[in-house]
Structure 1
């Protein structure tokens, strides 16, 4: 049991620290490879959607039906699934668009995708690094800190989802951890770029991005400590169903729209199909 907990926690830590990878990509590359991001985000969505409907939801249904009977168990599973969607939807609603990692941003600046301001900012990046006004510097710094907080809040339920999945099935947990890690790369970019532009310090930008990713294992640890005393077949089934709802919402509301914005028309879709194929193949091989 201890080894299972350690494995699940390490997977969650790996997924969370991918924000640091995104930060490094942003700080040391002249221009983010948006085609890669588009495919990666689509891939992540494909893994999450497939595993939610093919593995997680059926597992939750089996657990709850076994305890409460077919009719009540099915009802509890469906309610918990949509409750997970409601939870992450409320978190999105409470976080304004400017700091919300599920709202599509122009990846280099954190501004609305395709806006004239964003395009101008990227075109004049070298000038901005040294010639920002005090007001602009403060605004960018505030944006970066706010986005780090917003991403941290979002990472709590994602961390719990990865952790619980890995506890129940290490193979499923690994697939979800990889999907969440891919999802976290552009979030790391979104945090680090405005901080770097505001302070001129790559170290500060990386540190804040890195810390925002630690909310992932923190969410897993806090959730586990709260749930552990009450963990039984019913709670496990309800949590699994809610995790499925959370991942489907994140995929449809955040990953796929962002994948479409960052790449060409079909990059995100190709990535999504590839993610589903890889997830399906891995499940067959591990049977």
Structure 2
């Protein structure tokens, strides 16, 4: 359990890397961010479809039989996706990182624009990113508990995803205050929601599910990851890209790397 918590913590704190980038506009490149986001989406979709969901189905089949297992796993996948969708629905459209991560703030920072209103925007974004990170923390924690190698791979994908979110938080705060310390603090706070969501979510699942059914949480994780990939990562990659090939190549490489790594590991999650 300690390893799972540490992995979730490190994945969440990748927002610090984004915070650092957000205070150094010369290092920000939209083409790199677009490819990185698409790469993370490729990783997440591949591991969810090829490994996590089938592993949950196999394990639940041993408990319930194949027909019932399909129904329960399908329901858990849907519930995971709906959880992410519900979080997005309660967030105002103009504050959702999936909608605003398009480089506009980066361009304002690079031009040296200083706007006090950006401070409020940055603080609100920190709260929004923290809310987004809650289910991601649970996903990383559960996957690492079940199979450390798979969980760490998933954490890498989530960490890549969190870097631009750290940028989105830190850039407006830095523009408003010219304080790298303030910007980094808020980026860090938003990332700490990930280990918090990991622990709280896991305790809730343990209270609600019988011990032998905890593996069903893997399907919940897969649903969350698919929703995050299709609703957030890929749209954000398209907003950052300066040419469609950046997202396309990033996604393809992410999926290929995941497939190859699963072949090399040859270790099922359960």
Deviations 1:187-230 (A, max 9, x none): 00000011111222110011001110000111111122333454
The aligned runs of 1:235-250 (5 Å cut-off) are 235-237=214-216, 239-250=217-228
- Who is 2:204 aligned against? 226
Candidates 223, 238, 247, aligned match of 1:268 = 247
TM-score of the superposed pair, with normalisation by structure 1: 0.88
Candidates 18, 30, 35, aligned match of 2:31 = 35
Q: Is residue 185 of structure 1 aligned with residue 163 of structure 2? A: yes
User: Secondary structure at the residue paired with 1:220?
Assistant: helix
- Who is 2:59 aligned against? 63
Q: Is residue 10 of structure 1 aligned with residue 9 of structure 2? A: no
Deviation, 1:233, is 2.5
- Who is 2:49 aligned against? 53
Deviation, 1:98, is 1.9
Candidates 41, 55, 77, aligned match of 1:81 = 77
Deviation, 1:279, is 0.9
Q: Tell me the C-alpha RMSD between the 2 structures.
A: 1.6
C-alpha contact (below 8 Å) 2:206/2:214 kept by paired residues: no
C-alpha contact (below 8 Å) 1:11/1:162 kept by paired residues: yes
Q: Is residue 156 of structure 1 aligned with residue 152 of structure 2? A: no
Q: Which runs of 5+ in 1 are unaligned?
A: 111-118
- Who is 1:90 aligned against? 86
Aligned length: 264
Q: Which runs of 5+ in 2 are unaligned?
A: none
Deviation, 1:104, is 4.0
Deviation, 1:32, is 1.2
CA distance in 2, matches of 1:192, 1:7: 29
CA distance in 2, matches of 1:84, 1:228: 16
C-alpha contact (below 8 Å) 1:104/1:254 kept by paired residues: no
CA distance in 2, matches of 1:234, 1:265: 42
The aligned runs of 1:129-168 (5 Å cut-off) are 129=114, 132=115, 137=116, 139-168=117-146
Deviations 1:67-97 (A, max 9, x none): 1111111111111101111110010000012
Q: Which has the larger Rg?
A: 1
C-alpha contact (below 8 Å) 2:4/2:144 kept by paired residues: yes
Deviations 1:156-184 (A, max 9, x none): 10000001001111111111000000000
User: Secondary structure at the residue paired with 1:80?
Assistant: helix
C-alpha contact (below 8 Å) 1:108/1:189 kept by paired residues: no
CA distance in 1, matches of 2:204, 2:262: 30
TM-score of the superposed pair, with normalisation by structure 2: 0.93
Deviation, 1:154, is 0.8
Candidates 188, 193, 196, aligned match of 2:174 = 196
CA distance in 2, matches of 1:242, 1:78: 9
